[in-house]
Amino acid sequence: MKMINSNVKSRQAQLPGTTQDHLQIFNIEMKAKKKSHQMPEQVVFWKWISPKMLGLVTQTSVYHWSIEAKVVAGSTAWLG
Question: Which is higher by pLDDT, 26 or 57?
Answer: 57
What band does 50 get if pLDDT is binned at 50, 70 and 90?
Answer: confident
- 52 DSSP assignment: T
What band does 41 get if pLDDT is binned at 50, 70 and 90?
Answer: confident
Q: What is the mean pLDDT of the chain?
A: 73
CB-count exposure of residue 67 (10 Å: 0-12, 13-18, 19+): middle
Rounded to 10 degrees, the C-alpha dihedral 18/78/37/70 comes to -170
Give pLDDT, residue 1: 47
How many Cβ atoms from other residues are within 10 Å of residue 45's Cβ? 9
- 76 pLDDT exceeds 50? no
Give pLDDT, residue 46: 86
Write down the pTM of the prediction. Answer: 0.64
Q: Give CA–CA dist 69/75, Å, rounded.
A: 16
Q: For the chain, give every domain's residue range.
A: 2-79
